[in-house]
Amino acid sequence: MKDCTLYKTMDIIGKRWTLCILLELHKGNGKKHFNELKYMLHSITPKTLSTRLKELQDHGLIKRDVESDSTPVRCNYSLTESGEEFIEIISHIKKWGLKWKFENEICSESDCQKCGIRQISDPQCSTQ
């Protein structure tokens, strides 16, 4: 049971802050620095952020680019292709949550400003 694709996947994306980080990277223009992420996810500690970023890199959902010509060092984090595709799953979860009343006044909006995920409006798999 534990070596099933599903559970492997859930082990990666089921952890606290992971979805927040993916969404934060999805919302922006595509690149964010460490402290920028720390600021957006205002109650995350650097240790936890660092851990999550490393996990997501290891599993190929995000990538880390160092600006070579900057002092001090700056690192750009962005979603990879698999990371972007994962956002679709998050959309489905949101759609399900909205349908079955796991909602609040903000996420009931079709385009939630907080989580940056646009609600899927048709029954097909929109690529939003």
Positions in the binding site for a copy of itself (CB under 8 A): 1, 3-10, 12-15, 19-20, 23, 41, 59-60, 82, 85-86, 88-90, 92-94, 96-100, 102-104, 106-108, 112, 114-115, 117, 123-125
Considering the complex, what minimum distance in angstroms separates the CB of residue 32 from DNA? 9
- Is 12 in contact with 73 (CB distance < 8 Å)? no
Asked if 92 is part of the footprint of DNA (rule: CB under 7 A), the reply reads: no
HSE-up of residue 36 (Cα within 13 Å, Cβ side): 14
Helices H / strands E in the chain, number of each = 5, 2
Instruction: At 114, list the tokens.
Output: 């907080």
Binding site for DNA (CB under 7 A): 15-17, 33-36, 43-48, 50-51, 53-54, 64, 72-75
